[in-house]
Amino acid sequence: MSKLNIDQQTIKELFTNKRADFLIPDYQRPYAWDISECHTLWDDIFLFAFPDDDFSKFDPEGDEYFLGPIVTFKNSDNKLEIIDGQQRLTTLMLLLRAFYSFFGNMKDDNSKKTAEDISKCIWKTDEFGTPDTNKLKIDSEVTSDDDKHEFLSILKTGIVEDSQKSEYARNYRFFTEQINTFLVQYPTYFAYLPNRLMNNCILLPIEAESQETALRIFSTLNDRGKPLSDTDIFKAQFYKYYKENNKKDEFIKRWKQLDEISDKIFSSVSGSSMDELFTRYMYYERAKMKIKNTTTEALRKFYEKDGYSLLKKDETLTNLEVLASFWVNVAEQDDSVFSDKVLKNLSVLNYAPNGMWAYLTSVYFMQNKDSKGMLEDKSFGEFLDKIIAFIWAYAIMRPGVNALRTPVYPEMINIINNQKVSFNDYKFDESDVKLALENYLFTNGRPITKSMLAWWMYTNDKQDLFLLDTKVEIEHIYAKKRQENENGLIDKRNLESLGNKALLEKAINIRASDYRFIDKLKYYKGFVTDKGKVREGTKNKELFDLSSNFNDFKETDIIERKNLIISTFIDYLRQNDLLLN
């Protein structure tokens, strides 16, 4: 069992300890707290130290304010490497240094004592307890933080130049301004605030015996700061491996490039954009391991197996780079890499009802790429057609993201075994699919609605490629307002029918949404305003053609178009051998 040193301590107890020699390691992310977070911290501390703006209501013997945990481990250089709490620790150091800048020049005994206490939190001391202003209690080696020198300079000198624009500089200025305001308002009680900060604000330092243990502890904590993502932890393992093999600088350079690429092509609500890259690569490794289990492990759980053995192979980082390059080509719709047919299929998949297609495609790419990271175009196009047809039909017949895992995971293993994707065990009955499509309520809130409309749009051979960042919305060709203001459709369900819907650029959709069909036509086709401004028409070829060939769009047109979409999709399933004989 791993040993832990856990001991609740005040800021003063923790920072002035002889063993306090903190290191923010290379693999950590840059300092990210902004003024709003510093403002919250300042307000919290002030309200704690001066209840109701009254210094006398504070109990110095009993009042405590918990600031959160600090997770560290002692590395080979005998430094306390910070795994969790970096943002908080850095900010507290800046706050203490701001206080020291005021107290350092004061001559009264209380101020001199306060200054001495603060100095022992910031600087190491010699054997006589005298602070050495050349030796800080904290250091930063964060490779991706170009401003870390400003942090260390501020701590040493207390000086911020006007030219310095880092978060360190901005936050230090903020604390200086707040302290100055406080000094003006409460000159008699000025010394109480930093002393109550040091003596009554509590941290929970958790010192683990190894980096692995510290990371495991961190993963269970939910703190108020900026938590590490899974990728940050993977970076730590990579870094350790490459450092041991004397390739530290090479790794830092490659990782930075991979991080920049991921930020461009992957979005992330939380965590790191690189988490998505690691997820897509995970499915390739799962397939190689022949894992069919539909209960997918959490990302960190998968990679931490056997002491993160997968991250201790040279090929892993290389494979991640190659996979990232592939997705860059997809995101940029690179026509020097993909044919027009493939690009259109990838554009359709951009509207997929769930993200499983990206994992399946990543496995296909990793297994079938040539030495230059290229795919044979015809085979790739056939693969994309197959998964579009299957995923779309499956989403209608068996809705639910997790349901798709059952048929897809075995196909990932088939790809690794150099077999074509077939979905042989999950083919569809033609009459069942047709009935489901006829009765399915394609409301705008269902992802499959936009998916079907994207597929349908590209069945037109003359349809040009939409850029992936084009914002489109679902257009009711027969407008909702028309249904409200006229006698309307006989069968009101036809309003939400696929036959009445199409993808339309957002800017055009806003202008055309509530008009009669005859009034919509100029927006579909494009026009010149009275002031001579050109309003571009839609790039959806079907809607553009409607604007030239139709003067009205009636209920019979909705029904006819719906039947055509359904029959074309059934043919698409047949062409991809996805129907039962």
Three-class DSSP labels, 354-375: CCHHHHHHHHHHHHHCCCCCCC
pLDDT the model gives residue 218: 73
List per-residue pLDDT tens for the chain, 581 residues long.
456 667 789 999 999 998 899 999 887 888 999 999 999 999 999 999 999 888 889 999 999 999 989 999 998 899 999 988 999 999 999 999 999 998 867 767 777 899 999 999 999 998 888 999 999 999 998 877 889 999 999 999 999 998 999 999 999 999 999 999 998 888 888 889 999 999 999 999 999 888 778 877 776 664 444 456 788 888 888 988 998 899 988 998 999 999 999 999 997 655 688 999 999 999 999 999 998 887 778 888 899 889 889 999 999 999 999 999 999 999 999 999 999 999 999 999 999 999 999 999 999 999 999 999 999 999 999 999 999 999 999 999 987 667 899 999 999 999 999 999 999 999 999 999 999 999 999 999 999 999 999 999 999 999 999 999 899 999 999 988 887 777 788 888 999 999 999 999 998 877 766 677 888 888 888 888 778 788 889 999 999 998 888 888 999 999 999 999 999 999 999 999 999 98
pLDDT the model gives residue 179: 94
CB 381 within 8 A of CB 389: no
Tokens standing for residue 361: 């495609």
CB 22 within 8 A of CB 79: yes
What is the C-alpha to C-alpha distance for residues 206 and 68, in angstroms, rounded to an integer? Answer: 11
pTM beyond cutoff 0.85? no
- Supply the angle between the helices 517-525 and 541-549 in degrees, to the nearest 10: 120
Place of tokens 């998916």: 451
CB 115 within 8 A of CB 131: no
pLDDT the model gives residue 522: 85
What is the C-alpha to C-alpha distance for residues 157 and 277, in angstroms, rounded to an integer? Answer: 42
Q: Which amino acid belongs to residue 502?
A: A
Tokens standing for residue 47: 């309200």
pLDDT the model gives residue 225: 45
Please state the domain extents for the chain. 4-220, 230-425, 447-575
pLDDT the model gives residue 220: 65
- List beta partners, residue 9: 203
Query: Is the dihedral angle over the CA atoms 456, 462, 467, 471 positive or is it negative?
Result: negative
Strands 201-208 and 65-74 come out as parallel
What is the residue-wise DSSP string for 475-490?
A: EESS-HHHHHHSS--S
